[in-house]
Amino acid sequence: MIRFRVVLAFITIVFGIIVLRLFYWQVVRADELTKLGLSQYGKSIKIEPLRGEIKTSDGFPIVANKVSYLLYANPKEVKDVASMSYFLSQELEMDEASISAQLSQNLFWVPLGRGLESEQKDVIEKMEFEGVGFEQEFQRYYPEASMAANLLGFVGRDDEGNTKGYFGVEGYYDRLLRGKGSSAVQINDALGRPILARAEGEQSFGTDGSSLVLNIDRSIQYLVEKELKDGIERYGASGGMVGIIEPKSGKIIAMANFPSFDPRSYQIYTDTEYKNTFISNLYEPGSTFKPLVMSAAFNENILTPVSKCPICSGPVSVGGYDLHTWNDEYYSNSTMLEVIQHSDNTGMVYTAQKLGLDRMLKYLDRYGIGETTGIDLEGETAPEIKAKSEWYEVDLATTGFGQGISITPIELLSAFSSIANKGVMMQPQVVSAVVDIDGDETRIAAKKLGNPISPETAKTMTDVLVNAVDKGEAKWASLDGYKIAGKTGTSSIPIEGKYDPNKTIASFIGFAPADNPKFVMLVILDRPTARIYGAETAAPIFFSIAQNLFSYYGIPPSD
């Protein structure tokens, strides 16, 4: 009986131990052992989607993908660390010590270099180093080098090492461009031959990113960048920008910034070089803002082009400040047509005062001033217009001639284009279509932002601006035979509460042909030194680009 009980107890204990052990394997270490099991009959493969291309309006990929290689090593298999480090440092133009440090780590896998060209890979392979391998990957490639770099943005890596678009088009459309990645398990048979592959936690193997077609015209972009660069050098400016929009659709045809950057090596640049100043830099627009204020007064039927200015015979005193004209020349009883023609600040003070604060704020809102335009680029900013209670009498007066108010160039371009488009303001749009991997194209429709002014006011304002080009201070640069509407601008730069008299932002905004506008263009030069006025610097750049655009579009002179 005792023997029977001993045997029973022994069997029960053994059974209990087995149950406990099974519980440990099946429950406690289940995840770990499942992974171990998977690794024995297959290996996990990360499927990296191919990032979509970005094409200009002619279908040319301004941003494409190129094959590159990641060089890695297994330090445990490397025999001669010193000679290998030396060779790779020469070939990859890297620090020898950092390669040597990587190879001395007690690891099975260390990365040595990324973005290697296939020629570099061939050279390294010929050396037949042990413990070295390559992983193929795709890298961003820019056939037109740094063309439109500030508009396009760049591709870097996020905290988890995945590719991610930053700024501009790359940042705004990142989710569409990058596609959907996945991981799969490659199952092998007993001899290690592949049998099947299946996605892990996904129904598909992921998808490549969609491509984008831009409204940007490559030829115009090239021309604009060349003209802007030449202009900056000629006038000794510290920077500059040009934006061109098609007023009827809001399509952005070209957008250039200088200084710019090389997107292939974005790491060596700072924020100031890779941000798109056209959508993110705040500046006081100066006289290029006058047409917006004047058209508001026309639209409210407060003034007409022949209304006389009774306060234009000398400087105007407002709220304890004396407001002068840009050249201290005064024209008593000048008409509103002449106020714009002479770019008369006192005339604009009169206009702003006639308009009053309520209507000024109403039209700033209608023109979208103080709000982002919604352009499809990452990084757009817009400062809010201060509350009505914070406006002083002098603020209203100076806003009339574009000082004391900060906006972005895209805000001005967007608002001004409504004058060229019968009073209809369109949303600026950089991308025209999204093409998925099956080739299906989704067009992005033009979007109307509002009607700040009536078609009649737009027509009147156009005539006033044509007169400003034909008879204003920039007439020396204008083009014979073409009807161009435009306005110069020279704004002072506020530094520590004061305006620096020698540092200016020179600009010119206009559209052509005035009767049926094909483009609206804004040219801005930052701190030109050779000459400081918009009429002497930005205007010639505007007209030079406009002349090329007339040839490009086949628009003959009207006279």
Partner 1 sequence: MKKPIIILILLFITIGTLVVARSVVSARITTSGLELSQIRQETHDLRTQNAILREKIFSLSSLTQVSARAEKVGFVESNQVFAISGAKPIARGE
Please name the residues in contact with 128: beta carbons below 8 A apart, sequence gap of 6 or more: none
Compute the CA torsion angle 515, 518, 519, 520 (nearest 10 deg).
20
DSSP 475: G
In the complex, minimum distance from the CB of residue 538 to partner 1, in angstroms, rounded to a whole number: 21
Footprint of partner 1 (CB under 8 A): 60-61, 64-67, 118, 136, 138, 141, 143-145, 147, 187, 189, 193-197, 218-219, 222, 547, 550-551, 556-557
Nearer to partner 1, 18 or 67 (CB): 67
Nearer to partner 1, 147 or 155 (CB): 147
In the complex, minimum distance from the CB of residue 550 to partner 1, in angstroms, rounded to a whole number: 8
Nearer to partner 1, 118 or 516 (CB): 118
In the complex, minimum distance from the CB of residue 506 to partner 1, in angstroms, rounded to a whole number: 24
In 3D space, the residue among 310, 368, 336, 327 whose CA is nearest the CA of residue 468 turns out to be 336
- Which SS3 state, helix, strand or coil, does residue 499 take? strand
In the complex, minimum distance from the CB of residue 142 to partner 1, in angstroms, rounded to a whole number: 9
Nearer to partner 1, 111 or 556 (CB): 556
Nearer to partner 1, 81 or 479 (CB): 479
Nearer to partner 1, 86 or 138 (CB): 138
In the complex, minimum distance from the CB of residue 209 to partner 1, in angstroms, rounded to a whole number: 15
In the complex, minimum distance from the CB of residue 61 to partner 1, in angstroms, rounded to a whole number: 6
In the complex, minimum distance from the CB of residue 50 to partner 1, in angstroms, rounded to a whole number: 9
In the complex, minimum distance from the CB of residue 88 to partner 1, in angstroms, rounded to a whole number: 23
- Which SS3 state, helix, strand or coil, does residue 282 take? coil
Tokens describing residue 360 = 């000024």
Query: Rounded to an integer, what distance in angstroms lies between the CA atom of residue 402 and that of residue 348?
Result: 9
- Identify the sign of the CA torsion 316, 317, 323, 327: positive
DSSP 209: P
Query: Rounded to an integer, what distance in angstroms lies between the CA atom of residue 435 and that of residue 443?
Result: 9
In the complex, minimum distance from the CB of residue 533 to partner 1, in angstroms, rounded to a whole number: 25
Please name the residues in contact with 348: beta carbons below 8 A apart, sequence gap of 6 or more: 290, 293, 294, 339, 400, 401
Nearer to partner 1, 476 or 552 (CB): 552
Nearer to partner 1, 100 or 183 (CB): 183
Buried-exposed string 278-309: b where 16+ CB fall within 10 A, e elsewhere: bbbbebbbbbbbbbbbbbbbbbbeebebebeb
Ranges of beta strands (E only) in 217-351 are 239-246, 251-258, 316-318, 321-323
Nearer to partner 1, 100 or 548 (CB): 548
Please name the residues in contact with 235: beta carbons below 8 A apart, sequence gap of 6 or more: 506, 525, 528, 529, 530, 531, 536, 537
Please name the residues in contact with 189: beta carbons below 8 A apart, sequence gap of 6 or more: 195
